[in-house]
Amino acid sequence: MNNHLKGYLLPLFLSTMDFTGRDVVSIKDFSKKEIEAILSYAKTMIPYAKGEKTTDLLKGKVLSTLFFEPSTRTRFSFESAMNRLGGHVIGFAEPSATSQKKGESLADTVRMADAYSDLIVLRHHQEGAARLAAEFANAPVLNAGDGAGQHPTQCLLDLFTIITEKKRIKGKTIALLGDLKYGRTVHSLAYALAMFGAELTFVSPKSLAMPKEVISEITQFNIEPYATASLEAALKDADVLYVTRIQRERFPDAEEYNKVVGTYKVDTALLEKAKINLIIMHPLPRVTEIDPEVDKTPHAVYFTQAFNGVPVRMALLSLLSGRKLA
Ligand code: CP
């Protein structure tokens, strides 16, 4: 799979770029060339991410993981990434076990993480929390998801997965399906895919349509997304189907959630109408939107996608620390 990244991405960019000390709050903080350089570097991390090679690159460095919302992939893969680089991890997965419970502010918690560590990963339910944290910390802050806002490191691993599986993004038809209103992964990804020249289709119930602000940002890249509620209509031309969960926890009103839950289900019968080389992605967790039978088909790449979080996050931790593999 590594060969696909060769030639498409240009490692030479990396030598002219310095990411030391930068925050990663939004995918919009990066240029296309910077993204290409990060993804190219992530490719070199794969044997380390798999444990086939070892390194002490970040020996003596400490990463704080501050998770105010549940997570499996993002937290575990950041922790795996830091451990694989020879660094250490402190943090929490449950804020009620910290002094937040006594009323401490987010700003003060971030100040403490800044005092005790060299890099800070933050997941929070409030949109804008990571940007706020970056103002209170000298250490780089990596946004691991802020409410319905952004999830930039997920976006990088999604781009990495598409390039690895499909060789390029430009000209590929990519359908984003499900909760496009509250889904932070698709907000980040739609912007980046437009930047890379993909043909975009947005598939959702009307009440969960992609926000106007995201669409308006995309148009700067001369991309005109096609929006539909019909998965069947979108599927026939798609090279990539990016499925998302309809997120109960983001709905202010349970009745609104009940109206749309279960709207889409990707199963093997549906996939008979798809291109033979269609890949199906999902940031996970999934609930009912992808039938487990699909896991056995060559279309399913979502578990590989989840693994890709490790090399991509290793690359980021290395670059933000100003220590690169030779
Ligand atoms: N993709 C993702 O953000 O998964 P988690 O919520 O498990 O971290």
Could you tell me if 202 and 192 are in contact, meaning their C-beta atoms sit under 8 angstroms apart? Answer: no
Nearest of 293, 286, 288 to residue 269 by alpha carbon: 293
Kindly tell me the sign of the dihedral angle through the C-alpha atoms of 306, 311, 317, 319.
negative
Establish whether residue 303 lines the binding site of ligand 1, counting it when its CB lies within 6 angstroms of any ligand atom: no
> Residue 206 CB: number of other CB atoms within 10 A?
9
Tokens of 187: 């907000």
Establish whether residue 219 lines the binding site of ligand 1, counting it when its CB lies within 6 angstroms of any ligand atom: no
Establish whether residue 322 lines the binding site of ligand 1, counting it when its CB lies within 6 angstroms of any ligand atom: no
Nearest of 318, 324, 2 to residue 160 by alpha carbon: 2
Q: Whose CA is nearest to atom 6 of ligand 1?
A: 71
The answer to whether residue 201 scores a pLDDT higher than 70 is: yes
Distance, CA 161 to ligand 1 centroid (Å)? 16
Distance, CA 71 to ligand 1 centroid (Å)? 5
List, in sequence order, the alpha helices (H) in the chain. 2-5, 12-15, 32-49, 73-84, 106-116, 129-136, 152-166, 184-195, 212-218, 231-235, 254-260, 268-271, 302-321
The residues, ordered by sequence, that sit 6+ positions from 94 with a Cβ below 8 Å of its Cβ are 67
pLDDT tens-digit readout, 132-157: 999 999 999 999 999 988 999 999 99
Establish whether residue 93 lines the binding site of ligand 1, counting it when its CB lies within 6 angstroms of any ligand atom: no
Q: Lowest-confidence range among 3-12, 175-184, 218-227, 285-294?
A: 3-12
Q: What percent of the chain has pLDDT over 70?
A: 96
The answer to whether residue 10 scores a pLDDT higher than 70 is: no
Among 188, 247, 284, residue to substitute to test ligand 1 (most atoms within 8 Å of Cβ): 284
Q: How many helices (H) and strands (E) does the chain have?
A: 13, 9
Whole-number CA gyration radius for the chain: 19
Establish whether residue 64 lines the binding site of ligand 1, counting it when its CB lies within 6 angstroms of any ligand atom: no
Q: Active-site residue numbers?
A: 73-74, 102, 123, 151
pLDDT for the residue 67:
98
Q: What is the pTM of this model?
A: 0.94
